[in-house]
A and B are shown apart, each in its own frame.
Chain A
Amino acid sequence: MASPAPRPAADEVRPPAGPPAPVGTRARWSTVPLVVRHLVLAAGALAAVLLLIAATDTVNTMRIAAVGYSVLAIAGLQVLIGASGQVSLGHGAFMFIGAYTVALLVIRLPMLPLWVNLLITVAVSAAAGVVVGGATARLHGPYLAGATLALAVGLPSLAVRFPELLGGGNGLAFTTRGAPPALAATVSTAQWQAAAVWFTVLLALTVLATVSRGRLGRRMRAVRDDPLAAAAAGIPVGRTKVAAFVLSACCGGLAGACQGYLLGTATPSSFTLALSLSLLAALVFGGMGSLWGALWGGAALVYLEVWAEDAAHALSLGTSVTNNLPIVLFGLILIVVVLLRPDGVHGAVRDAAGAVRRAR
């Protein structure tokens, strides 16, 4: 990994980089447990999202909710690829599992509340993650990518194979509840659903961020960089890789569940190979090195499509152009970003933030 950082001389005197002396609020903040810090940040983010959906119309509220579950799916992929170094080309398969789990639960067991459905989805996705991750833990690079690719291609066809249970090519349609009656007068169904999605997403992101910045994240990176040396330090290599896979599968499943809950449908055509590849492309676009990359990636995934469609309509282009413009635009922007900033949008954002901090 080539780094442009200046090479410090061997005898350069620098202050020891230990835990800083506790002075000021910043230092006190750093003594608060990681998970509490992340929960506070998540609460702030939820407040911001709630303000946003209160201020905008129904169409944009649905888009903001779509950004939410996209961010979660991409963030799961970031932990898998960025932290643990395993490439998955088939993460749409876990979204498929999540969406169909919620659909089946709503149709077959309508008495269950949403949060129970989501918890069951997490359990089902985790089980799928254990099976797939356990089977692929010994595979590297292109072989792992190939195996996960097969998953993305194969799994959605299950819906067609079992039409009685999974609804065939048309998938499953169901209705989800909106806001509770007490709030129904002030909160629209879309607003309630978007809030529920973002609440779920931010809670899951809190877990991901805590894992990523804590012991397990360090173990994953150690296994990614040098499995032999990680094993010598007592880290079980295989189990750490499976843990990353399961975590990532849970995020994918939960994201799929949120999508199903929002749209009220689960169809095989929503979970094509193109979706899996888009998630990966969005991660590269946002930046693979940080969970923040998922935010930019998720926003780009939803809004580039919207803007491309708007542009196509404004220019009154034909339908064949309109249908393909989002993909072309996304591809072009991805190429530009990778050429200019291999560390993605977040790399640029981080540099800009650093420049601002130094200037003050």
Chain B
Amino acid sequence: MPPDPVDHLLSVHGVSVRFGGLAALDDVRIDVPAGTVAGLIGPNGAGKTTLFNVVSGLLRPDSGRIEWKGRTLRRHRPHDLAGLGIARTFQGLNLFGGLPVLDNVMVGAERFARGGAVSMLTGLGAHGRDERLMRDRAMAVLEEFGIAGTARSLPGTLPFGLQKRVALARAVVAEPELLLLDEPAAGISADDIGALAELIGRLGERMGVLLVEHHVDLVMQVCERITVLDFGRVICAGPPEAVRADPGVAEAYLGTGEEAADDA
């Protein structure tokens, strides 16, 4: 096994997942260096979400391993991610519909709270300080994202684009070292995608980002390195120009080369 450069935040080594006879992931390798935006693309059913679930600890790989900052993650569970410094968004919004926007984002800041069960039951000790800390952090991110005015609204009353932003704010408020974005552009208007690209680029300066996306233009624009999955295998990995030029990618992902030219 070749030694990894230490600056890799996340390394996925030869991960395979089989559902019955179907290989959802086959010997997949992906590295996310610190402070970069890495992209993961591929047609529907290529295994992108499966890979996301493996990294999140929802699925155990049949073989291969996940390394986080040089340490192999064994038996990690979804609720361990936040403590490790990994935050994620979801393909759906997965907002807490009964909680105001501010509280939604405050939940994302839970990892900064210090109080234990006693403080939560009695409201004494660290409770007041924790609440203030989480509220201040949440407000700061809402302001940064330009949605501070929605703090008291229920997410369901907001337009879809703003809800998407709340979901992103909830992940970013944790100040993760790695941010996993599952199709952030889905359902967003063409105008807003430019703003989203700028936002992701800005986040990439603060944290590592792994972006799973269908929207090829967005991925090409913001990612420094792109991995292409098809039928559970990595068919291409490299900088955007290399991926764009790869004939195998055009064929697998965009249909024939001619259609790809039309799309672009």
Contacts and interface: CB of A to CB of B under 8 A. Distances in A.
A293 to B, nearest CB: 15
A13 B120 CA distance: 35
A210 B94 contact: no
A3 B157 contact: yes
B87 A232 contact: yes
A231 B148 contact: no
Nearest to B112: A234
Given A17-B102, A215-B115, A218-B107, A234 B150 contact: no
Interface in A18-39: 18-19, 33-35, 38
Given A33-B128, A229-B90, A234 B111 contact: yes
A131 B80 CA distance: 25
B56 A232 contact: yes
Interface stretch (A4-12, A151-159, A168-176): A4-12
B45 interface: no
Contacts of B161: 10
A24 B83 CA distance: 40
| Most chain B Cβ neighbours within 10 Å, of A14, A18, A19 | A18
B151 A207 contact: no
B96 A229 contact: yes
Contacts of B247: none
Interface in A213-237: 214-216, 218-219, 221-222, 224-226, 228-237
B98 interface: yes
Contact of B78 (A33, A34, A231): A231
Given A8-B150, A16-B149, A226-B95, A233 B128 contact: no
B152 A17 contact: yes
Contact of B149 (A12, A226, A235): A12
Contact of A33 (B103, B107, B124, B159): B124
A225 B157 CA distance: 16
B148 A18 contact: yes
Contacts of B115: 215
Most chain-B Cβ atoms within 10 A of its Cβ — which of A1, A17, A34, A219?
A17
Interface residues of B, number: 57
Given A12-B149, A211-B121, A222-B107, A19 B135 contact: yes
Nearest to B77: A231
A214 B124 contact: no
Contacts of B122: 35, 207, 210
Nearest to B130: A215
Given A216-B121, A230-B107, A224 B88 contact: no
A341 B127 CA distance: 35
A10 B158 CA distance: 8
A233 B110 contact: yes
Contact of A35 (B56, B123, B171): B123
Nearest to B104: A222
A36 to B, nearest CB: 8
Given A8-B157, A15-B149, A17-B149, A233 B123 contact: no
A1 B98 contact: yes
A263 B151 CA distance: 49
A129 B202 CA distance: 48
A216 to B, nearest CB: 4
A211 B124 CA distance: 11
A237 B139 CA distance: 25
Contacts of A247: 121
Contacts of B111: 233-234
Contacts of B156: 1, 3
The 10 lowest CB-CB distance pairs between A and B, nearest first, are A234-B82, A35-B123, A14-B149, A17-B151, A210-B123, A225-B96, A216-B120, A231-B78, A229-B94, A16-B148
Given A1-B154, A247-B121, 12 more contacts: A1-B97, A8-B149, A10-B159, A35-B122, A35-B127, A215-B134, A221-B103, A225-B97, A229-B95, A232-B79, A234-B110, A234-B111
6 contacts: A18-B151, A211-B120, A225-B96, A228-B94, A232-B56, A235-B110
Interface of B: 56, 77-83, 87-88, 90, 94-99, 102-103, 106-108, 110-111, 113, 115, 117, 119-124, 127-128, 130-131, 134-135, 139, 143, 148-154, 156-159, 161-162, 170-171, 174
